[in-house]
Structure 1
């Protein structure tokens, strides 16, 4: 397939009906996009429409599911409430009330992100920064809090709905630089969003260059979380500042720090275009590594053969399979969720069909409040069928690599739906987590504190 001379064009709730291919959709399907689009963010672009979606397989096509809102993202009651309010044009306040009510029911910040991950510096919250794990801090640059296309499953959907109370973003004072400088335990910085690659190279450089100075010698790794290689690979090929971006990547690697591009691919088809192949190779020539991750999603990639092909293609292109995540408990989770037991079986079957080069991947992993927890297996221990779990990362570093067990539950889809095995009332970390929380509350110093949340 030849690269095409695209000029990036966005489609949103205001103009999506001008997409030529959408003429094949029924009025009911278009109505569903309009109604759900008042609650959840919607945006796509011409590359996704023309290169990724199979318009002969609508609505089942995984790329269509990935980028276009569906009726069943909301319950029937939620959908009808919003649809009814839309028609009451003489009462716009009723529409906003209905929208806010439904959004609140969709758990806008899972795992206590807003309440528990934002650190303090001299008693002041640091805007646009999250510090959940000791070694890693997340930066949400204000100029990068949008995307080339909004994934319909995105757990950060509150970033894009215009509610300042729910949005993470750095401020003009850039207090986060001071926080990073002070916290010498931080070795890894993840620049995330939204999609930071939507920033101009000039703005991105202003974020990167300070981190290369002697003031930040403790920071060894810089990560970029992005779906640009799937949704707009021309960012690194024909965009006006494409070469400038690649020079910034080279600069980071030549500085002695490691740059890791954390690419989001949800289906092997996203890896199947000439533009994506070229963009990947251009990034790799800068010395940057590309690690690939995705949640497991019903109707998009809930098939071990899809994961097998995706991981093998990533290795073939020089990338590193990194994570299979469990879809977080937010937004349209009920539409996409898969029971943990089934998720493990999908992972196991896909893993068995790959060589060791693809077995760098980890999962299925839940990014829950206590930390990243993988489903390691289904076992029978002391006569009881159990789910074996393990901490890959945690708020308390002492929990890392710890194995623990939950009662077998074929329908549980998240950590808070599991109960401890062997008659225990709580998991091993719960009492310690509560004690740590109380210690933080009672021993705040004048510099800062990173609050610790309860697990659910």
Structure 2
């Protein structure tokens, strides 16, 4: 495929952010109120969208109800009404200092680091700066390369939204691979390294290689699996198609697989529309040709994919393009959850009904899964016990490995949206909730 893109644009697209947001929304929808409200919300939550998303993925005749528009563009309901009013007042007054002060205050109330990420996941060593890494589970190390802490576009539901706002104290990042390699050398139980962000595929390939090639050295042979989290296929597939940067990243993945590493490209795919363009299909084919395993995950969220048919279509398309459905997550308790969040009972119904519409190869996605402070909790069902209805739950992964795989129960709550809203069903279930009664 030949594409007329210069080297910079091939790596990182033209994008819209900041004050250009209002102009774009007015041009495409003719709705100045919608544009104003989006601008107000963007003072708090990050906004960025690539030219590819604007021109190829969004059906502007359906906006604002198009699912990709809902996925990427701010909406007033992403903020609580009182928060929106405070920010709007500062915007109307043109008070930049007031906007910044109000936005910082609102962000602090939005639980910018859910799941005790900063307090419990960051490695603590006197001689290793672990501030850009997370080590929650014994086998897996998450690494946040500084150069990859942005994306080609931002998802409104992103639980790592705090990485992208202008508050340095909220961001996690390592400046280079040295802290990662030193930490791995001290922790031979780590078998999986996940580069995340942000999106590592916004980086030049030589920078990406500086983190990945040290994993091929003999002293790190305990690292069996390399994961790269990305939404480039959805938001800028030309990263994998156009120019020397595309070719070099594919060669890098080939070197890793040829050396015996299991390379998992963790695709964030929220809606089947992301897989329907020819360039997205070509990008998936090129990725698969490297020997990497392609897996896909996303949360189930209102306005985008809160429908069983949407998930069935997505899973079927993934299987068709050699992508393994991996997780259906629950929207985390952070950021724009008032807008995107669903009750756990509804999320489970969507998952179950979607499974009924696909073959066995499409049923590999585990869900709905809450990635909460104690671990990844999957809702296995709603059951009737002697004392009433209950959620049947199980840890897929946990800080305490002894919890993994053991069934337990929580009192059924039709409105509950997150782990900390659930209560143990009976005395034997309390240990799974940290001893809560």
Q: CA deviation at 1:96?
A: 1.9
CA distance in 1, matches of 2:100, 2:429: 40
The match for 1:29 is: 34
Q: TM-score, normalised by structure 1?
A: 0.91
Q: How does 1:210-359 map to 2 (within 5 A)?
A: 210-359=214-363
Give CA deviations for 1:276-329 in whole Å, capped at 9, x if unaligned: 110101111110010010100101000000100100110011110000000000
The match for 1:74 is: 79
CA distance in 1, matches of 2:355, 2:329: 14
CA distance in 2, matches of 1:17, 1:217: 51
CA distance in 2, matches of 1:96, 1:55: 31
Contact 2:299 2:329 in 1 (8 A): yes
Find the partner of 1:402 among 394, 406, 413. Answer: 406
CA distance in 2, matches of 1:173, 1:241: 20
Runs of 4+ displaced beyond 6 Å: none
The match for 2:117 is: 113
Give CA deviations for 1:137-173 in whole Å, capped at 9, x if unaligned: 1000000000000111110000000211110100358
The match for 1:445 is: none
Coordinate RMSD, CA, aligned: 1.8
What is the count of residue pairs matched by the alignment?
430
In structure 2, runs of 5+ residues without a counterpart are none
Contact 1:118 1:125 in 2 (8 A): no
**Structure 2 CA distance for partners of 1:21 and 1:237, relative to 1, 3 Å:** farther
CA distance in 1, matches of 2:71, 2:3: 22
CA distance in 2, matches of 1:409, 1:20: 39
| 2:188 paired with 1:184 | yes
Give CA deviations for 1:7-39 in whole Å, capped at 9, x if unaligned: 521110132345387342311111112111110
| 2:64 paired with 1:93 | no
Q: CA deviation at 1:335?
A: 0.7
In structure 1, runs of 5+ residues without a counterpart are 433-454
Give CA deviations for 1:118-138 in whole Å, capped at 9, x if unaligned: 011236541210000010010
The match for 2:49 is: 44
Find the partner of 1:58 among 63, 67, 70. Answer: 63
CA distance in 1, matches of 2:59, 2:14: 19
- The DSSP-based 3-state class of the residue aligned with 1:33 is helix
| 2:434 paired with 1:428 | no
Contact 1:62 1:299 in 2 (8 A): yes
**Structure 2 CA distance for partners of 1:4 and 1:305, relative to 1, 3 Å:** farther
Give CA deviations for 1:409-439 in whole Å, capped at 9, x if unaligned: 11101011111113x397213447xxxxxxx
Find the partner of 1:392 among 396, 406, 411. Answer: 396
CA distance in 1, matches of 2:17, 2:162: 16
CA distance in 2, matches of 1:174, 1:36: 38
- The DSSP-based 3-state class of the residue aligned with 2:432 is helix
Contact 2:21 2:39 in 1 (8 A): no
CA distance in 2, matches of 1:19, 1:122: 49
Q: CA deviation at 1:383?
A: 4.0
Q: How does 1:375-390 map to 2 (within 5 A)?
A: 375-390=379-394
- The DSSP-based 3-state class of the residue aligned with 2:381 is strand
Q: CA deviation at 1:359?
A: 1.5
Contact 2:22 2:38 in 1 (8 A): no
The match for 1:439 is: none
| 2:173 paired with 1:169 | yes
Q: TM-score, normalised by structure 2?
A: 0.95
- The DSSP-based 3-state class of the residue aligned with 1:151 is coil
- The DSSP-based 3-state class of the residue aligned with 1:427 is helix
Q: CA deviation at 1:92?
A: 3.7
Q: CA deviation at 1:354?
A: 1.1
The match for 2:88 is: 83
